[in-house]
Chain A
Amino acid sequence: MGERGSGGACPSPAGIMHFLGVVFSWCGIFLEGLLILRGVGTRMFKVFPLFFSYLAFCFSTALCVYLISWRLPGVYPSAYWLYYLVTILVEFTVLVEISDHIFRPFPALRSLGRALTILISVALGLVYILPTILRPTGRSRTLLDFALRASVTKALILLVLFYVARHYGTPLGKNLAGIMLGFSIYLGLNVVMMTGAKAYGSALYGQVLWFMAPLGLSLCALVWTVALWDLVPVPRKEASPTDLERNSETVALELTRFNNELSKLMHK
């Protein structure tokens, strides 16, 4: 996950804080591994392919980074930053997975989630995130700013998706709602940590960041593990005879009819 192993960037504390950081970090990795195994066992990875590929990426890269820090400490800083940057971008796949599933039952809105995700990402990417890269103020500060703004963008996308789902009465189901809730907790903690690091400086904040980042990851992985332990079908309302007649083609025809009627009225 985004800030795992932040101790590579910040001074790592000694004693109990160091121990807590390592324990939380391994807890997160363990839960991710457990979730991947469970996903393979229940064939849930076929339902949420992007989400499980993201989990597999996090799990394998975290192990690789730990291996590098142990065997090749000289290469570790470059490897860590590369991993960190890629992870910030890869996290968007979780949003794509959520947006693909959220309106799946409704033919007229099936692409709405993806459209919203793309629209908000591009708009905030250009206006809010890009300026941090174009006006660099030192590597760690730029990265911190970039990570913070990317997290705020992801949080906003998630909030909009939650709101629109609520507006249209979309039944989320335990699995999808769990993915959204876990990711929300993770993003919320991320924003707090990044802001704290920015405001108080990495040296002062390093000690808290050291165990807060893996704690956020572990909490998120715990929510995901509970929510995705079993594949729970999304509850549906009972179909009326007119509903059973409706499919994508009939909905398309009715939508066209609605649009035509309104266009006729507009051109009067």
Chain B
Amino acid sequence: MIALIYAGITIVFLLVTVALYRKSRPDEPDELLTEKTCASPVRNTRWLDLSERLFDPSDARWLSEELAFPKLAGLLTRGRKRLAIQWLEALQASFDDLVRTPDFTPSDGAAVDSAGNWRLLWLTVRFKVLVSYALLMVKVFGPYHRLIPSFIWNPFTGEGRQRLNRVEWARNQHSR
């Protein structure tokens, strides 16, 4: 049985390897490389300001609490959720474009394993993990949910301590 499993693994391995090899033949220009790269959205301040509006719950809250239109507020939230997902995906696509841009400056062999390259890799992996997490959170909980869990209940965290101090201060003011 084990022999069959390993034989299967080998056949699949060789087939996939040959398929991937054929796809990455040097004489076939890769469509990913020939695509035109769009301008980086992080340089575009209007594009960045869009995120302020997309992830801001005040409009939906205003509709639901002040104007008492909960259905309209729900509709707005759903629309914003769709836009927020598109915004995050666009950010990710533009990041991938940046990552896929080759270095045209001549480099020597010593640069290959420098600490700088590991730092760049760390930034790349960090961004990929964070954007995947943000996408998951927006898809599951919507655009108005906190992306980082709140530790306000914990008095040992900075956030919790600040809140505790504020409550203490308010209590003192009230007692005077």
Contact = CB atoms under 8 A, between A and B. Distances in A.
Interface of A: 100, 104-112, 114-115, 148, 152, 155, 158-159, 162-163, 165-166, 168-174, 177, 180-181, 184-185, 187-188, 191-192, 194-196, 198-200, 232, 234-237, 239-240, 242-244, 246-248, 251-252, 254-259, 261-263, 265-268
Interface string B28-59: 01111110010110110000100100010000
- Is the contact region of chain B dominated by helix, strand, or loop, or is it mixed? helix
B119 A252 contact: yes
A112 B112 CA distance: 11
B9 to A, nearest CB: 7
Contact of B126 (A170, A237, A259): A259
Residue of B9, B34, B117, B148 with highest tally of chain A CB at under 10 A: B117
Contacts of A195: 2-3, 6-7, 10
Contacts of B48: 261
Contact of B17 (A162, A196, A256, A263): A162
B26 A110 contact: no
B25 interface: yes
B23 interface: yes
16 contacts: A109-B120, A159-B13, A166-B23, A188-B10, A188-B14, A191-B9, A192-B6, A195-B7, A200-B3, A239-B104, A243-B37, A248-B103, A251-B103, A255-B124, A261-B91, A267-B148
A106 B99 contact: yes
Contact of B25 (A159, A165, A177, A199): A177
B14 A266 contact: no
A98 to B, nearest CB: 12
B12 to A, nearest CB: 9
A255 B120 contact: yes
Interface residues on B, range: 35 or more
Contacts of B34: 237
B103 A107 contact: yes
Interface stretch (B73-81, B127-135, B168-176): B127-135
Given A169-B30, A169-B33, A177-B25, A111 B113 contact: yes
